[in-house]
């Protein structure tokens, strides 16, 4: 009943909102309606077990597996909540705006942190599944697995140095911001825009629509050009090829007059050297 009431209110609220205001209720319905429905149904089935004429052994077995299913569904619901939270934040920071430095910063940090949060939820959910079984041996196995996690971490770190380096580089990129989503960069002699930043690599959309896949550690260990680090303003150079007899001073004076009369000049740089 509570599930039905909640999502009925959300659907009615969506009809009352304008197109620009409908984003959050739409995401709640999109990401949470299905996991919430299955969590509700599983809880209903569990609550009716004492009243069902089922043998005790079969009832206990079914109850354990329903609890495992409930833990999995709760993990699904938690992941859906992170999607709603991420989309609600990203909706406030539009990359299509003219001055989108802050939006690119937020998109970059949220995409990386979102993937880490999903991984954390999956790990917690697996731990919850292990602790659902009423088996002390399984609990001891889980405790031993956790106790050996330190040794396993060292072994994995030694065997997968590049993966660990990319993970640490991702944290550095997310907060020191040498690149952001939609930045214009030149990497390996290729001009393009940062299209996606994952936990291990960066996708750069090159001007001819090719995709350049670059490891995250590259942006920490190698120099590269970022044309939109703070703003998109760039200085350009114009060359005039003339005869040696041309009066250079007169050309410089005339150039300054033409530049000052142009509405396209941003009043920042005027150099004739």
How many domains would you assign to the chain? 1
CA dist 193 and 180 (Å) reads 9
What pLDDT score does 101 carry? Answer: 66
What pLDDT score does 144 carry? Answer: 52
What pLDDT score does 184 carry? Answer: 92
Quick check: is 218 in a domain? no
Quote the domain boundaries for residue 110.
Answer: 2-150
CA dist 77 and 89 (Å) reads 19
Question: Residue 191 corresponds to which tokens in the numbers above?
Answer: 């001009």
CA dist 206 and 8 (Å) reads 46
Quick check: is 207 in a domain? no
Cα four-point dihedral sign 255, 256, 261, 262: positive
What pLDDT score does 203 carry? Answer: 92
Cβ-defined contacts of 3-9 (< 8 Å, 24+):
3/36, 3/37, 3/40, 6/36, 7/33, 7/36
Conformational region of residue 247, where left means phi above 0, alpha means psi within -120 to 50, and beta covers everything else: beta
Quick check: is 160 in a domain? no
Quick check: is 199 in a domain? no
| E strand or H helix at 253 | helix 248-261
DSSP secondary-structure letter at 240? -
Quick check: is 211 in a domain? no
What pLDDT score does 172 carry? Answer: 74
Cα four-point dihedral sign 174, 90, 212, 98: negative
CA distances in angstroms from 28 to 13, 19, 42, 122, listed in the order given: 12, 15, 20, 21
Quick check: is 235 in a domain? no
Determine the straight-line distance between the first and last CA of the chain, rounded to whole angstroms: 78
Quick check: is 52 in a domain? yes
Quick check: is 242 in a domain? no
Note the Cα 24 to chain centre separation in Å. 18
What pLDDT score does 125 carry? Answer: 80
Write out pLDDT tens, residues 104-145.
777 777 777 787 788 778 877 877 777 777 666 655 655 554
Strand bridging mode 225-226 / 211-215: unpaired
Per-residue pLDDT of the chain (273 residues; tens, 9 = 90+): 555 555 555 555 555 544 444 445 556 777 777 888 888 888 888 787 777 777 767 777 788 888 888 888 888 888 888 888 888 777 777 666 666 666 777 777 777 778 778 877 887 787 777 777 766 665 565 555 445 444 544 454 444 455 556 666 777 777 777 888 888 999 999 999 999 888 778 999 999 999 999 988 888 888 999 988 877 777 777 788 888 888 888 888 888 888 888 888 877 777 776
């Amino acid at each position: 009943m509570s599930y039905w009431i909640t999502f009925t209110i959300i659907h009615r609220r969506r009809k009352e909102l304008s197109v620009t205001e409908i984003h959050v209720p739409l995401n709640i319905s999109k990401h949470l309606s299905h996991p919430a429905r299955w969590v509700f149904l599983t809880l209903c089935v569990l609550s009716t077990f004492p009243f069902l004429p089922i043998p005790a052994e079969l009832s206990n077995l079914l109850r354990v597996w329903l609890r495992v299913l409930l833990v999995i569904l709760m993990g699904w619901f938690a992941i859906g909540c992170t999607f709603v939270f991420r989309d609600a934040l990203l909706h406030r920071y539009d990359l299509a705006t003219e001055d989108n430095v802050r939006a690119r910063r937020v998109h970059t940090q949220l995409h990386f942190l979102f993937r880490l949060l999903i991984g954390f939820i999956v790990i917690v959910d697996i731990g919850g599944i292990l602790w659902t079984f009423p088996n002390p041996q399984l609990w001891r196995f889980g405790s031993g697995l956790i106790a050996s996690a330190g040794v396993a971490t060292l072994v994995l770190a030694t065997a997968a140095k590049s993966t660990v380096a990319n993970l640490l580089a991702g944290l550095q990129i997310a907060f020191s911001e040498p690149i952001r989503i939609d930045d214009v960069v030149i990497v390996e002699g290729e001009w393009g825009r940062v299209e996606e930043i994952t936990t291990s690599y960066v996708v750069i959309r090159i001007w001819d629509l090719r995709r350049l896949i670059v490891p995250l550690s590259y942006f920490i260990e190698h120099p590269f050009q970022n044309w939109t680090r703070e703003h998109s303003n760039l200085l350009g150079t114009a060359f005039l090829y003339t005869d040696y007899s041309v009066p250079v001073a007169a050309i410089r004076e005339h150039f300054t007059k033409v530049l000052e009369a142009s509405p396209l000049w941003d009043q920042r740089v005027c150099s004739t050297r």
